[in-house]
């Protein structure tokens, strides 16, 4: 199939997926308007899926390097895995226990699941067509060969047989199914094979069926030795090896068929906070259950006989709608290893060096504390380095005048430089307090190890507030300077993780402002102690003041516009789902406020509705870096208020988490506005949301120069 034909099919698939989203008819008379009417809201889960579809579209964008296009294709799989593990699992749980709830769109779980199935079926089929008909052929042309069994040479077969016997047989455990060997409990998202057998084993048993779980310790892609191959990089799938050598696992029996399958399970963790007396101990007990939650999806090789598919459906208690038959490997996410196996930098993004402001460069004559006393600093990652944040903490750990450090950790590695600095500070006798959010989804186990390491070093470790995730990104350093204690702070929109700081766009704000330091101190007091809400001078924090302040500022812009002044709002977040904020935006639009929303993922708001949201535009930027900054801009008739924050405009962030929003004034606020304008001018990686819930890729108009916000930021800051 030609690439042009496949792209045409992709465009048609997008149209079909748009058509199955709820649509809204525009009445001629728009007054009076009930802003709670369900037709004014897009379903959260379907909007989430549309983001994944936009990620998949990147695999067809020839402006991206070939291996990066492959990564987008595989990220689609990874995103879809989590979507089924959490979002689909929650819809199924509601149906199972008769506890159906609806959002502002008034769609019940049964209908939502039907729409999810339609969208997923369309786009999973597309994904495998892109892989088989575009990705594999193009990689073949570029010297990256995925060797199928039909083309293995005798020498390669001999090497593969030896590899199988030496590396695979010792760790693999085939399971014949009979009354003494019931169907095994298979781990979430693991690769497995169902095998049809003929003959009797050593005990005279005729089982007919067996299961081969592929050990997770084994790589899913293996590189063949160069001396056995033609030029280029030659790779084979673990599944091909198991298919080829399955007979050796069942001596004396005939393998009639061997077929891949993979089960996705409910991976959400639930807690009864009233019964909990130790969060860490409870979490350790729950982590094991994540691997064996209720099945929510079955992926099978599309060549699997129907009777085997039926057998698997019954074993996992699944309906036909939960089965996805695919034309290729069922565990595509593990294909990400290809980048490291082939090392083809010419097929990846060009490398760059993140910039560092001169006043924060790690040089002998640079004192970070003095630099921050002179001026606040704002870094935008990954275009600017995360290193100054790490360096500041490492300097604080060694500085004899630093007496205390307080830090929140949400997602980080227990061997990171941040953690090493905290350990060193505690061991040197400083008072180190760390608030670790153990329930950072899929990082819980890592965070438990992290907590243990910090406690062993002498840090005071707490787990925030039961019932409220600590999502705030804050660091506080207390330093004795003469007779005074000076506070130095870092506040961010992202995590204290050097790896994600190279992949996600985020802001880091470094300051020695007295009032912000006092506010951050009070936030830590709320997290580690008990007491009434403390009034903050410059920061706004969830779940106490951030939500109300944002509503207040939206309403201020509406009043300005209604009085003939200029009302302007720009919001850049990862998700917009909170109904009260959406209604406030609708009201502001009706008052004449210009509202420009840059929402990476979920968005329940419908822009462009006559008389309701015609002054609102929504765009989503998908590019080389994952957009993660949270910025709120309120024009205030020429005297703007600009905030960065850890919080998206979602119910969980505003009402059920600990979050911080911090103001940026003067030149820093002006700089952030300039960078927001880059995103609003983007006409190469920007997708515009329509009122019906569909997205359209914006392209440069005739005579207009293509413009990429991310590329411009690289030019501004990196080298």
Which tens digit of pLDDT belongs to each residue from 275-330?
444 555 545 555 555 567 899 999 999 999 999 999 999 999 999 999 999 999 99
pLDDT digits (tens, 9 = 90+) for 649-670: 999 999 999 999 999 999 999 9
Contact (CB, 8 A) for 621 and 679: yes
Contacts of 46 (CB under 8 A, 6+ apart): 21, 22, 112, 115, 116, 119, 693
Which has the minimum average pLDDT: 16-25, 135-144, 152-161, 707-716?
16-25
pLDDT of 645 strictly over 60: yes
Contact (CB, 8 A) for 438 and 444: yes
**What is the structure's pLDDT at 365?**
55
**What is the structure's pLDDT at 441?**
58
Q: Give me the helix-helix angle, 444-457 and 417-427, nearest 10°.
A: 20
pLDDT digits (tens, 9 = 90+) for 136-185: 999 999 999 999 999 999 999 999 999 999 999 999 999 888 755 788 88
* pLDDT band, residue 443 (cuts 50/70/90): low
Catalytic residue among 471, 490, 497, 568: 471
pLDDT digits (tens, 9 = 90+) for 593-611: 999 999 999 999 999 999 9
- Tell me if residue 471 is catalytic: yes
Contact (CB, 8 A) for 658 and 472: yes
Q: Give me the helix-helix angle, 3-19 and 109-130, nearest 10°.
A: 180
pLDDT of 1 strictly over 60: no
Q: Give, as one character, the DSSP assignment of residue 214.
A: P
* pLDDT band, residue 271 (cuts 50/70/90): very low
Contact (CB, 8 A) for 134 and 7: no
**What is the structure's pLDDT at 284?**
52
pLDDT of 386 strictly over 60: yes
Contact (CB, 8 A) for 110 and 88: no
Tokens standing for residue 59:
């695999």
Which residues carry a binding-site annotation for ATP? 79, 504, 600, 628
Contacts of 582 (CB under 8 A, 6+ apart): 41, 104, 576, 604, 605
**What is the structure's pLDDT at 463?**
83
Contact (CB, 8 A) for 227 and 153: no
pLDDT of 29 strictly over 50: no
Query: What one-character-per-residue DSSP string does 313-379 give?
Result: HHHHT--GGGEEEESS-S-GGGGGGHHHHH--GGGSPPP---B--GGGS--TT--HHHHHHH--EEE
Mean pLDDT within 437-447: 64
Q: Are strands 431-436 and 209-213 parallel, antiparallel or unpaired?
A: unpaired
- Can you tell me the distance from the alpha carbon of 409 to that of 463, in angstroms, rounded to the nearest whole number? 10
pLDDT of 266 strictly over 80: yes
Contacts of 357 (CB under 8 A, 6+ apart): 377, 379, 384, 388
- Can you tell me the distance from the alpha carbon of 463 to that of 448, in angstroms, rounded to the nearest whole number? 10
> 3-class DSSP state for residue 34?
coil
What are the CA-CA distances from residue 599 to residues 169, 285, 409, 508, 685 (Å)? 49, 36, 25, 20, 13
Q: Which of 221, 235, 254 is nearest to 152 (CA)?
A: 235
Contact (CB, 8 A) for 629 and 506: yes
Domains, the chain, ranges and CATH? 3-140 (1.20.58.310), 162-272+293-346 (3.30.1840.10), 358-538 (3.30.870.10), 541-717 (3.30.870.10)
pLDDT of 99 strictly over 90: no
Mean pLDDT within 388-398: 94
Q: Which of 654, 650, 655 is nearest to 603 (CA)?
A: 650
* pLDDT band, residue 358 (cuts 50/70/90): confident
- Can you tell me the distance from the alpha carbon of 152 to that of 147, in angstroms, rounded to the nearest whole number? 7
- Whole-model pTM over 0.85: yes
Contacts of 540 (CB under 8 A, 6+ apart): 546, 549, 643, 660, 661
Q: Are strands 594-599 and 616-621 parallel, antiparallel or unpaired?
A: parallel
* pLDDT band, residue 681 (cuts 50/70/90): very high
Residue with tokens 């979602």: 650
């Amino acid at each position: 199939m030609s690439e042009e034909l496949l792209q045409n099919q992709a465009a048609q698939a997008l149209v079909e997926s748009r058509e199955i989203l709820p649509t809204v008819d525009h009445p001629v008379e728009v007054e009076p308007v009930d802003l709670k009417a369900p037709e004014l809201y897009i379903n959260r889960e379907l909007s989430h899926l549309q983001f994944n579809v936009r990620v998949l579209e990147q695999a067809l964008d020839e402006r991206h390097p070939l291996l990066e296009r492959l990564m987008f294709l595989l990220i689609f799989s990874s995103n879809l895995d989590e979507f089924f593990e959490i979002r689909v699992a929650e819809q199924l749980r509601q149906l199972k226990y008769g506890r159906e709830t609806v959002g502002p769109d008034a769609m019940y779980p049964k209908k939502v699941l039907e729409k999810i199935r339609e969208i997923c079926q369309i786009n999973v089929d597309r994904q495998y067509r892109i892989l088989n008909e575009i990705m594999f052929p193009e990689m073949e042309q570029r010297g990256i060969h995925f060797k199928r069994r039909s083309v293995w040479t005798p020498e390669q077969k001999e090497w593969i047989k030896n590899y199988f016997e030496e590396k695979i047989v010792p760790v693999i455990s085939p399971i014949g199914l009979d009354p003494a060997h019931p169907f095994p409990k298979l781990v979430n998202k693991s690769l497995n094979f169902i095998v049809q057998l003929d003959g009797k084993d050593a005990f005279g048993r005729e089982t007919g069926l067996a299961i081969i779980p592929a050990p997770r310790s084994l790589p899913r892609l293996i590189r063949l030795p160069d001396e056995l191959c033609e030029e280029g990089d030659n790779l084979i799938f673990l599944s091909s090896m198991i298919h080829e050598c399955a007979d050796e696992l069942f001596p004396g029996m005939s393998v009639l068929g061997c077929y891949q399958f993979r089960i996705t399970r409910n991976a959400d963790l639930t807690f009864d906070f009233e019964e909990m007396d130790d969060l860490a101990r409870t979490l350790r007990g729950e982590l094991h259950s994540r691997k064996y939650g209720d099945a929510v999806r079955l992926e099978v090789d599309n060549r699997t006989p129907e009777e085997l598919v039926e057998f698997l459906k019954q074993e996992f208690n699944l309906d036909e709608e939960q089965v996805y038959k695919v034309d290729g490997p069922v565990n595509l996410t593990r294909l990400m290893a290809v980048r490291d196996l082939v090392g083809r930098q010419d097929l990846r993004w060009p490398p760059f060096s993140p910039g560092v402001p001169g006043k924060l460069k790690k040089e002998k004559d640079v004192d970070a504390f003095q630099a921050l006393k002179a001026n606040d600093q704002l870094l935008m990652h990954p275009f600017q380095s995360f290193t100054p944040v790490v360096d500041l903490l490492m300097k604080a750990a060694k500085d004899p005048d630093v007496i205390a450090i307080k830090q929140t950790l949400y997602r980080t590695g227990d061997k990171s430089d941040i953690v090493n600095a905290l350990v060193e500070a505690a061991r040197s006798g400083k008072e180190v307090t760390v608030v670790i959010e153990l329930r950072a989804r899929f990082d819980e186990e890592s965070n438990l190890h992290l907590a243990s390491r910090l406690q062993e070093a002498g840090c005071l470790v707490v787990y925030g507030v039961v019932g409220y995730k600590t999502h705030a990104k804050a660091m506080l350093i207390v330093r004795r300077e003469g007779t005074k204690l000076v506070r130095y702070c870092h506040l961010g929109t992202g995590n204290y993780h050097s790896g994600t700081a190279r992949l996600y766009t985020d802001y880091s704000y470094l300051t020695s402002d007295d009032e912000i330091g006092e506010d951050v101190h009070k936030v830590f007091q709320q997290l580690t102690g008990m007491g009434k809400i403390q009034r903050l001078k410059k920061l706004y924090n969830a779940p106490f003041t951030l939500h109300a302040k944002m509503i207040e500022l939206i309403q201020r812009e509406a009043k300005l516009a209604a009085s003939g002044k200029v009302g302007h709002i720009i919001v850049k977040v990862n998700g917009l789902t909170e109904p009260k904020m959406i209604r406030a935006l609708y009201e502001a639009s009706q008052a004449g406020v210009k509202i420009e929303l840059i929402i990476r993922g979920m968005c329940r708001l419908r822009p462009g509705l006559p008389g309701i949201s015609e002054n609102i535009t929504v765009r989503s930027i998908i590019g080389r870096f994952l957009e993660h900054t949270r910025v709120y801009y309120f024009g205030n008739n020429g005297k703007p208020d600009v905030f960065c924050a850890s919080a998206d405009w979602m119910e969980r962030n505003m009402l059920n988490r600990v979050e911080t929003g911090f103001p940026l004034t003067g030149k820093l606020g002006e700089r952030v506005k300039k960078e927001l304008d880059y995103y609003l001018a983007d006409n190469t990686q920007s997708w515009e949301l329509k009122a019906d819930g569909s997205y359209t890729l914006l392209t440069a108009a005739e005579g207009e120069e293509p413009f990429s916000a991310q590329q411009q930021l690289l030019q501004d800051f990196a080298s």
